[in-house]
Amino acid sequence: MRDRWNPITRNTKRQPSTIDVNKGETSPMSRIVIVSNRTPGKGPAAGGLAVALRKVLGEREGFWFGWSGKLSDQPSREARIEDIGGLQVAQIDLTRDDHHAYYAGFSNSILWPSFHLRLDLATIESHWYEGYRRVNHQFARGLLPLLKPDDIIWVHDYHLIPLASELRQLGARNRIGFYLHIPFPTSDALYAVPHHEELMRDLSRYDLIGLQARRDVAAFTEFAEHQAPSTFGGHEARAIDFSRTEVDAFPIGSDPEAFARIAVSPAATKMVRRMQRSLGEQRLILGVDRLDYSKGLPQRVEAYEKLLANNARMRRSVHLLQVAPPSRDTIKEYQETSDTLDAMCGRVMGHFAEPDWQPLTYVKRAYGQPSLAGLYRLARVALVTPLRDGMNLVAHEYVGSQNPADPGVLVLSRFAGAAEIFPDALLVNPFDTDETSEALRMALDMPLEERKQRWQALMAAARKYNVDDWAVSFLDRLAPGSLDRSSTTRDILYLASVA
């Protein structure tokens, strides 16, 4: 696949101050319309993605569309438009029943586990799909009156797979792109998703589909080449035509230079000093994750337990800090993951703790970027070991925060999208806790010169795949006229669709 990550000159036209999305200055460039499940809040953006998309709308005329976060007795008939932190934001309300079916139900109890290859955790309720389609139709109905013919629409994530179909059925002919922030499933897992054919047909209505990694493009292409339409009910469905859809990997990143600055800021330094007083001479092993079953947290604690059991010299000289704020804690599988992790941390404490030494600290709350950057910089090892992940930006943030003169070591799951661009990390199979334990030992014993060499290669990759160039690269490919460019992936999908 060709390198698509050369820096691109960006237009810096200032966004008009009016909040009427259909009026304002005439721009020589198409407006950008970003659509996501939730719209940005009034506070500062919490993550690199939100910062990057805010920057897109700061440099190009456009607006952000999504759910307001409010539940009402009746669904919104039209969007409310307001200025939020200098951004034009259009929002709709959802009913409680529709939101539950769409979000907690079909999106997070069926699509999320299936796309992460955890079919055993998928819960299937047929009415959830009806709510999922209903909300996507409501998004389309609320968005359509706000669109101009040359607007470019960028839809984000698995909650909104049907949105292009819904917009097309209402008459929209705009260029529409879709970006999936989680892994794309293997064909077998995809076939287990209810209504998967309709969902894949929905994806064929997009002009450009962006995936995190080459493995995801390969999985998508495998489906396109070997479609097995259902014959359920005696009516064979026709194969899906992907000939008008371009599919490619656009690995998302962070802003490594920003994290390098934040990591030495006063707030970060304050966190470092607090931790240094607590740790003394102990070396810090750090994990930062949402409390989610896809992150492999129980396996991580088991690997750390084996490190202490097999290497007595490591006791009292290392400390594991796991930061894991709750995520979707109303869903049963997440509660079970939390209970399992509580029990495993208690077991390690009971087995190895001494009156003057604790082997680990487990924190169930979130920290701001400066505090995290300080923890990243202090940590000798970052343990980033999801069982399956789209990219995992913690790996990027850790690399960006390191001290070039004394960098730490990244231990990274082979099943994170980040593994494709960070081969100089210590790559592990997170299901094999013996292997992860040995990687931890290697990381803790690694000499300074090797740590520097590995970090320099990792930092070069983090700079290459930064979040700003990710956004510009995707939008450049989605822009009108980009279909004329050659694309190996698109040619493959076209041949598959007509075979």
Helix (H, G, I), strand (E, B) or coil at 422: coil
Contacts of 128 (CB under 8 A, 6+ apart): 101, 102, 105, 106, 109, 110
- As a whole number of angstroms, the distance between CA 499 and CA 497 comes to 6
Catalytic pick among 207, 255, 389, 424: 389
Q: Among residues 157, 151, 132, which one has the least CA distance to residue 90?
A: 151
As to burial, measured by CB atoms within 10 angstroms (0-12 exposed, 13-18 middle, 19+ buried), residue 173 is: exposed
- As a whole number of angstroms, the distance between CA 264 and CA 374 comes to 7
Amino acid at 159: H
Strands 32-38 and 360-363, sheet pairing: unpaired
Is 196 considered catalytic here?
no
Whether 389 and 416 have beta carbons less than 8 Å apart is answered as yes
- As a whole number of angstroms, the distance between CA 483 and CA 463 comes to 28
Whether 61 and 25 have beta carbons less than 8 Å apart is answered as yes
Question: 264 is written with which tokens?
Answer: 């030495």
- As a whole number of angstroms, the distance between CA 3 and CA 64 comes to 30
Catalytic pick among 100, 157, 181, 476: 181
Is 432 considered catalytic here?
no
User: Residue 435's Cα: distance from chain center in Å?
Assistant: 26
Torsion of CA 290, 291, 294, 295, to 10 degrees: 70
Whether 430 and 300 have beta carbons less than 8 Å apart is answered as yes
Active-site annotation, residues? 181, 389
